[in-house]
Amino acid sequence: MFNEDLEATPPTEWVTFRDKIKAADGLLFLTPEYNRSVPAVLKNAIDVGSRPYCQNSWDGKPSAIASVSIGNISGFGANHHLRQSLVFVNAPTMAQPEAYIGGATALFDDKGKLTNDSTKDFLNNYMLAFEKWITTFAK
């Protein structure tokens, strides 16, 4: 877990993670929803990448979010909670199209393969939009 006291000699895993974020052209976040928010490990990753102070690895990285849930709300709470954190770390997040995948258990077979054609089409179009979003910020 992130602990500011460890920044004097950060764990190797933190340094490697930060370097990978900095090297990425864009960041696609895929998250389930737990209690209307993101899993703690994802929030922790955002905290690790945002430090040390004034060395925010997320800064300016084009991002997109797809949330998933077994229910009909489709991870709406997690999606928007994550957007709040990404705004603060200055990771421009694609606004449209939005990706909320509800009823996920009915979309995959017992081996985890996506079987729903309309969801496949939607995700294909979503990734094309994300590609355009990334090129908007290409340096």
57, 21 contact by CB (below 8 A): yes
- Rounded to an integer, the average pLDDT of 115-136 is 97
The pLDDT tens digits for 95-109 are: 999 999 999 889 999
Residue 7 has pLDDT above 80, yes or no: yes
d(CA 85, CA 48): 13
Characterize 103-135 residue by residue with b for buried, 16 or more Cβ atoms within 10 angstroms of its Cβ, and e for exposed.
Answer: ebeebeeeeeeeeeeebeeeeeebeeebeebbe
Cis? peptide before 52, omega within 30° of 0: yes
Cis? peptide before 97, omega within 30° of 0: yes
Compute the Cα dihedral for 75, 94, 109, 116 and give only its sign.
positive
The pLDDT tens digits for 42-64 are: 999 999 999 999 999 999 999 99
Domains and CATH numbers, the chain: 4-136 (3.40.50.360)
Q: In this predicted structure, what is the pLDDT of residue 74?
A: 83
Q: What is the pTM of this model?
A: 0.91
